[in-house]
């Protein structure tokens, strides 16, 4: 990989919670080194209100947030992707579109906060937990010197982050 800005795509099934959180966190913490996007295999059509609430509680503007299909990132007009992270187990198991440029992929499974039932406080707590888990993984990712390691070593590190950082 070269020293230019890296483009990262976070995938989830619904693109309403985890992937949108991850997109926002990386764009916020990445200090211009990365351009993050999110998408879903079966987008819900709108970001989850509690995902937006969680981002706003951290001072992150949510104007970017939309639930969209991963198909827009597989077409000829799509940005050139460097890395794709799946953040839910079902998206990781699905047959993905052809990704132009053959980006590196890794799985960072996070429990779906949108699937949490119960009182509002319980559902909000699930989003706090998802945000914290994604933030820890993204901070570990940002600590990597991705421009100076081999692709194989980077892939290994990305997988390790997904397994170790909870």
Q: What band does 33 get if pLDDT is binned at 50, 70 and 90?
A: very high
Q: Which residues are catalytic?
A: 12, 88, 96
Q: What band does 4 get if pLDDT is binned at 50, 70 and 90?
A: confident
The closest of 109, 17, 8 to 54, measured between CA atoms, is 17
Q: Calculate mean pLDDT across residues 39-54.
A: 95
Residue whose pair of structure tokens reads 């996007």 in the numeric block: 37
Task: Indicate if the pLDDT at residue 1 is higher than 50.
Answer: no
Question: Which CATH fold would you assign to the domain 6-160?
Answer: Rossmann fold (3.40.50)
pLDDT score recorded for residue 2 = 46
pLDDT score recorded for residue 96 = 60
pLDDT score recorded for residue 136 = 96
Residue whose pair of structure tokens reads 């609430």 in the numeric block: 53
Stated as kind and residue range, the H or E segment containing 34 is strand 34-40
Task: Indicate if the pLDDT at residue 91 is higher than 60.
Answer: no
Is residue 65 within 8 A of residue 36, CB to CB? The reply is: no
Q: Return the SS3 of 134.
A: helix
Task: Indicate if the pLDDT at residue 152 is higher than 90.
Answer: yes
pTM: 0.91
Tokens of 100: 């132009």
Is residue 38 within 8 A of residue 10, CB to CB? The reply is: yes
Task: Indicate if the pLDDT at residue 51 is higher than 80.
Answer: yes
pLDDT score recorded for residue 76 = 81
C-alpha 107/C-alpha 48 separation (Å) is 22
Tell how far CA 105 is from the center of its chain. 11
The least confident of 21-25, 76-80, 151-155 is 76-80
% of the chain beyond a pLDDT of 70:
90
* Domain residue ranges in the chain: 6-160
């Amino acid at each position: 990989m070269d020293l230019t800005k890296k483009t990262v795509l976070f995938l989830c099934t619904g693109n309403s919670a985890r992937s949108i959180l991850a997109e926002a966190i990386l764009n916020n913490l990445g200090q211009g080194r990365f351009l993050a996007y999110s998408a879903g295999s079966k987008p819900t059509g709108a970001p989850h209100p509690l995902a937006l609430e969680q981002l706003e509680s951290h001072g992150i503007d949510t104007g970017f947030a939309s639930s969209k299909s991963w198909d827009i990132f597989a077409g000829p007009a799509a940005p050139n992707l460097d890395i794709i992270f799946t953040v839910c187990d079902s998206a990781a198991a699905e047959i993905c579109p052809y990704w132009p440029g053959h980006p590196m992929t890794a799985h960072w499974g996070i429990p779906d906060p949108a699937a949490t039932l119960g009182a509002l406080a319980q559902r909000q707590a699930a989003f706090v937990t998802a945000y914290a888990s994604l933030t820890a993984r993204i901070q570990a990712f940002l600590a990597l010197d991705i421009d100076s390691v081999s692709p194989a070593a980077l892939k290994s590190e990305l997988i390790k982050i997904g397994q170790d950082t909870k």
